[in-house]
Amino acid sequence: MGIPEETTVLADPSDARALLRDRDGDYLVALAHGDAAAVIVRRDKDLVDHPALEPPVLNARDACD
């Protein structure tokens, strides 16, 4: 299977709360939360180093382990 077969397209979240310095990170957290994602995989340190995000954030290396 390729990327198109494994892709899920979601609607933009309407309620991205300000949790981080970067609004793009807030958008990703709201998107993942709205779809009940188990984790977010991202290398953005604001997300990875945040102590209490739900769902939790893993960097790509940790996600592959």
Give tens-digit pLDDT for 13-62: 888 888 888 888 889 899 988 888 888 888 888 888 888 888 889 988 88
21 and 46 Cβ atoms separated by less than 8 Å: yes
Report the Cα–Cα distance between both ends of the chain, in Å, rounded.
Answer: 21
pLDDT band at 1 (very low <50, low <70, confident <90, very high): low
Query: What is the greatest pairwise CA distance in the chain?
Result: 37
What is this structure's pTM? 0.74
Q: For residue 55, is the peptide bond before it cis, meaning its omega torsion is within 30 degrees of 0?
A: yes
- Helix spans in the chain (H): 3-6, 23-34, 45-48, 60-64
